Amino acid sequence: MAELVFFSGTMDCGKSTLALQMHHNHAARGRDGVLFTRQDRAGTATISSRLGLTKEACEVDDATDFWFEVIDRRTQGRPVDYLIGDEAQFYTAAQVEQLARVVDELGVDVYAFGISTDFRARLFPGAQRLVELADRVDVLQVRALCWCGARATHNARVVAGRMVVEGAQVVVGDVDGGSSGGADEVTYEVLCRRHHMRRMTAAAARAAAPSAQTLVSSVLDG
């Protein structure tokens, strides 16, 4: 029986890598799949993994209709056994409903990959609908870690070195290590819930902790 699976996790936990691996494994067994993505960091119509894999994909926009995409291909005699959808948090709720219909009425497996919550720890509309409709939600096993060593569960947005909690929901960007580092550049950092709620990024924690040198000086100064 075909299924709708939502593979979810924080940024930088390996979702796009898994999406490309799953495509490779299914294609290697002769199954026909179509790759989709929306607003990948690497540019239009691309699925990119930080491990270096990239693959051309169909770019989703508000006008994309997944039901039509499958019917159109099949009408042209092109088989479709599965769809891979990366950056699925950016899909509309209606598009997620189309995906569910593609599974139920056309027998196509749909594997959707995306983050669940935004920088304010609020669900993206596409992710919310996936959680509501998916046959299962798989949390990725590779753990992204908070600076404190705990499992990272939340995505923080950092602007000019400070964590922010206001702004547009969608701002395409990378985690700090992958960014170019411009002063006003939006970057992201994954945190555990405790440090997300305290707005304590790695830089904020470093700034808050007195350095060993400061401690020694204050002891010597009496």
Ligand X SMILES: Cc1cn([C@H]2C[C@H](O)[C@@H](COP(=O)(O)O)O2)c(=O)[nH]c1=O
Query: Residue 80 corresponds to which tokens in the numbers above?
Result: 């479709």
Which of 112, 159, 173, 157 minimizes the C-alpha distance to 137? 112
* 173 is a contact residue toward ligand ADP (CB under 6 A): no
Cα gap 42→212, rounded to integer Å? 41
Stretch that binds ligand ADP, among 8-16, 54-62, 192-200, 214-222 (CB under 6 A): 8-16
Q: Which of 8, 17, 153, 187 binds ligand ADP (CB under 6 A)?
A: 17
Cα gap 219→68, rounded to integer Å? 72
Is-catalytic flag, 87?
yes
Q: If contact means CB under 5 to 8 A according to the sort of partner, which of ligand X, ligand ADP, none does residue 51 touch?
A: ligand ADP
Cα gap 220→216, rounded to integer Å? 6
* 12 is a contact residue toward ligand ADP (CB under 6 A): yes
* Positions 91 through 150 that interact with ligand X (CB under 6 A): 115, 118-119
Q: If contact means CB under 5 to 8 A according to the sort of partner, which of ligand ADP, ligand X, none does residue 187 touch?
A: none
CB 109 within 8 A of CB 102: no
Q: How many CB atoms lie within 10 A of CB 56?
A: 10
Q: Annotated catalytic residue: which of 3, 87, 105, 132?
A: 87
Three-class SS string for 29-91? CCCCEEEEECCCCCCCCEEECCCCCEEECEECCCCCCHHHHHHHHHHCCCCCCEEEECCHHHC
Stretch that binds ligand ADP, among 6-14, 21-29, 103-111, 202-210 (CB under 6 A): 6-14
* 157 is a contact residue toward ligand ADP (CB under 6 A): no
* Positions 1 through 30 that interact with ligand X (CB under 6 A): 11-12, 15-16
Closest residue to ligand X: CB criterion: 118
Q: Which of 27, 172, 197, 207 binds ligand X (CB under 6 A)?
A: 172
- Contact footprint for ligand X (CB under 6 A): 11-12, 15-16, 41, 115, 118-119, 155, 157, 169-173, 188
Catalytic residue ranges: 87
